[in-house]
A and B are shown apart, each in its own frame.
Chain A
């Protein structure tokens, strides 16, 4: 084990256990007002008229007319308004805020507001969007983004007579982040200095700052964003906080008092961004040695009413769509559609969970059809060090998949159990998934878009302050970063300082997303610490700044989608064992095992926490997290109806790490945040398949879905 991997006490743990840590809802300002969002009750309509009752003294309505700058949230596409402007495009779209001192009175005002709508036929599904059943929501084709890339020549292969073609469509539904702390923000407009201060539960302080600069048409020095202790995020607090920070800021600007906007749980589940539902079509051509010679893959995502991050989610889904397999002839296409439903966004994995469920299930379904064991079929086709990626880049760093499979097999007794359960009807099953996750931003995004900058400030008293914009949202950034700096400088952990970021104090080291924080930002901080070590002079102040430089071997063509889509990859092999109740089809998850390659582990407890927690979310995605729409309304809009795993749903987890240091990462670390989620659902689906001998095309595998599949009698072996 590396010295740095030894666990230390998490630096924020004591304050969180005792309830002392302050989340945004725990903050109170003098003269603070509260805000509540009034939302569209229609999926698609033109607002004809809004009736506002007489307001008591000190109460305000905030709407599109209160936005000093542009009524669009700054993102990849500028299409998402802060407040509806004439048209509403999904149920829950913000129309206005009611702001004042007492929530009871705000709610009374709410009940008297009336909006007259002229309804327009909504586009509620990908099929509606494709069929253009109504006027397009976006562009003239309802498509936010579409891409394609290819290599080799698929047509030649698919025409051959000596190959076997297998084709299927795989579907995944919504997944809600369900961080325990609901979304929330406080805006405090300092009218003396004409400056907006934002305090919020968020992942990306500079995203919020940039969004508000555009919305207020203000220069950089007039907007300050401070992250508050964040009670989980998982991607859900990547883009959405920009919207509500805007809302609270417009209100505070008008009322000249601090304004607090905290979501209730139902509001949070119903109206904040989720994982994109997907339909992925995979067609493969396999030769008589069970080698996949060609694949044609189409990824369709439901983006919801506004684009947000959808285009990038689609790209990641497409790059991951061949899984860990080396397919020489390939064509991948993808489209993300606009629909009159809640806008979808970032959730741990970011397109990858959909893609990996599809390809892993396709491999398992194909193996059944080809009469070969899934793991053998996968071994024949999986990538090795130096092989090309789906986009024609190179798996340059050592790939230990074979060794990882062997380890996982030793831990779980997978092969023996698989054969045993496959040979009889004992309602038991075991499944294995093989996963990679590209670490960091796609392609040259780090170099061309993010341009991370970090600072280390050594104070006169010899303490060292880490100045970065990345947040600790539970994943342990405060602890791991202190460890990196204290280890490089060989000083005690207590001598290193890191606080929740405040954009007035920290440089823009980029968002806390994409499994980039340790690898990219931690790498920069580690290099800054090396510099500081050389320049160290006791009792003198020193500031070191480091900017991201892309390794020169990375080549990426964004237009053609060719080259290295990611600087490097983390890997996992995950195994799930289940037992199915023969009458109710309720499934008990008996055991899970996993083997990870995340480079050097910076802190064993912290990384294990990421692995356990991610795997549990992946299991939830596969087992139970069912969210459906009826006429644009989310049916499961409470924690009672949208069920996430409890302690009784998650079995004992056994986890090991493969040591495979990555030379650009701090102490050899790669990304670890998203990876563990990705393999949960496919391993679970594989286990269900092993038990029931059925083809699986869909998650979550709630008992109703299993019953439906069994009734359709789709037994592959027959």
Chain B
């Protein structure tokens, strides 16, 4: 199937098997490697990307779905103003340990703060509940999201 898509700002028109997992297309074909495979079944959120600005686990989506849509991964999102605020907040709050889940958490944080610029503790936990972290116990990630929400007014 001929797929017409924009991935990380680049227009791609190419013949691709539409049933291929988006995660495999990004990682294996395009070598966009900030997207991680943690579970392959949509539970851990390490492969989270934005499709038309909506948070999606790329292991659950087939390439056919991105036809006429725009995909943004951490590898491109890192150039934004929003990213800089989230990055600083994650560093300051010690929210990064092994780092395998972190790009997914960053994308989830952005999605949450775009919808709700000053979320409560419960709303933060809800907002990141699609992402699993085995290292931190989440407290420092919650603090990082709160810090980002305070610092990022008007950015999202």
Chain A residues with a Cβ under 8 A of chain B? 7, 9-10, 12-23, 25-26, 28, 177-182, 229-234, 264-266, 473-476, 605-606, 608-609, 612-617, 638-640, 644-648, 650, 652-653
Shortest Cβ distance from A623 into chain B, in angstroms? 13
| B137 and A229 form a contact (CB under 8 A) | no
Given A10-B91, A23-B36, the answer on whether A647 and B134 have CB atoms closer than 8 Å is no
19 more contacts with CB within 8 A, not counting A13-B99, A19-B34, are A9-B91, A15-B99, A17-B103, A17-B106, A18-B75, A19-B35, A19-B78, A21-B99, A180-B46, A180-B132, A181-B100, A231-B98, A609-B140, A612-B136, A613-B136, A638-B41, A639-B132, A640-B43, A647-B126
Given A265-B39, A609-B140, the answer on whether A16 and B134 have CB atoms closer than 8 Å is no
CA distance A23 to B34 in the complex (A): 10
Contact of B44 among A23, A639, A650 (CB under 8 A): A639
| A608 and B135 form a contact (CB under 8 A) | no
Shortest Cβ distance from B113 into chain A, in angstroms? 15
CB-based nearest A residue for B40: A265
Give every chain A residue within 8 A of B35 (Cβ-Cβ). 19
Give every chain B residue within 8 A of A650 (Cβ-Cβ). 137-139
CB-based nearest A residue for B100: A231
List 11 contacting pairs A-B, 8 Å CB cutoff, sorted by A.
A15-B99, A17-B102, A179-B134, A180-B36, A181-B100, A231-B99, A475-B97, A609-B135, A639-B132, A652-B121, A653-B139
Contact of A17 among B73, B91, B140 (CB under 8 A): B91
| B139 and A16 form a contact (CB under 8 A) | no
Give every chain B residue within 8 A of A475 (Cβ-Cβ). 97
Give every chain A residue within 8 A of B99 (Cβ-Cβ). 12-13, 15-17, 21, 229, 231, 474
CA distance A584 to B22 in the complex (A): 39
| B129 and A10 form a contact (CB under 8 A) | no
Given A180-B44, A180-B98, A639-B41, the answer on whether A19 and B33 have CB atoms closer than 8 Å is yes
| A647 and B98 form a contact (CB under 8 A) | no
CA distance A19 to B46 in the complex (A): 11
- How many A-B residue pairs lie within 8 Å, measured between CB atoms? 168
Contact of A605 among B94, B98, B133, B141 (CB under 8 A): B94
| B41 and A647 form a contact (CB under 8 A) | no
| A640 and B138 form a contact (CB under 8 A) | no
| A647 and B142 form a contact (CB under 8 A) | yes
Shortest Cβ distance from A248 into chain B, in angstroms? 18
Instruction: List residues of B (50-105) whose CB comes within 8 Å of A's CBs.
Output: 73-75, 78, 83, 86-87, 90-94, 96-103
CB-based nearest A residue for B144: A17
* Proximity bits, B8-48, A CB within 8 Å = 1, else 0: 00000000000000000000000101111111110110100
Give every chain A residue within 8 A of B98 (Cβ-Cβ). 16, 179-181, 230-233, 473-474
CA distance A25 to B106 in the complex (A): 20
Given A605-B140, A638-B39, the answer on whether A232 and B134 have CB atoms closer than 8 Å is yes
| B96 and A25 form a contact (CB under 8 A) | no
Q: Of A18, A23, A475, A650, which is in contact with the most chain B CB atoms at under 10 Å from its CB?
A: A18
| B96 and A644 form a contact (CB under 8 A) | no
| A18 and B139 form a contact (CB under 8 A) | no
Chain A to chain B: the 10 pairs with minimum beta-carbon distance, closest first: A19-B34, A16-B99, A474-B98, A231-B100, A605-B94, A616-B137, A612-B137, A474-B97, A639-B43, A232-B98
Given A19-B78, A178-B134, A264-B40, the answer on whether A476 and B33 have CB atoms closer than 8 Å is no
CA distance A177 to B74 in the complex (A): 26
Contact of A10 among B34, B94, B103 (CB under 8 A): B94
| A28 and B94 form a contact (CB under 8 A) | no
CA distance A17 to B126 in the complex (A): 21
CA distance A23 to B36 in the complex (A): 9
CB-based nearest A residue for B133: A180
Contact of B102 among A16, A22, A615 (CB under 8 A): A16
CA distance A28 to B31 in the complex (A): 9
Q: Of A15, A17, A653, which is in contact with the most chain B CB atoms at under 10 Å from its CB?
A: A17
Give every chain A residue within 8 A of B46 (Cβ-Cβ). 180
Give every chain A residue within 8 A of B133 (Cβ-Cβ). 180, 647
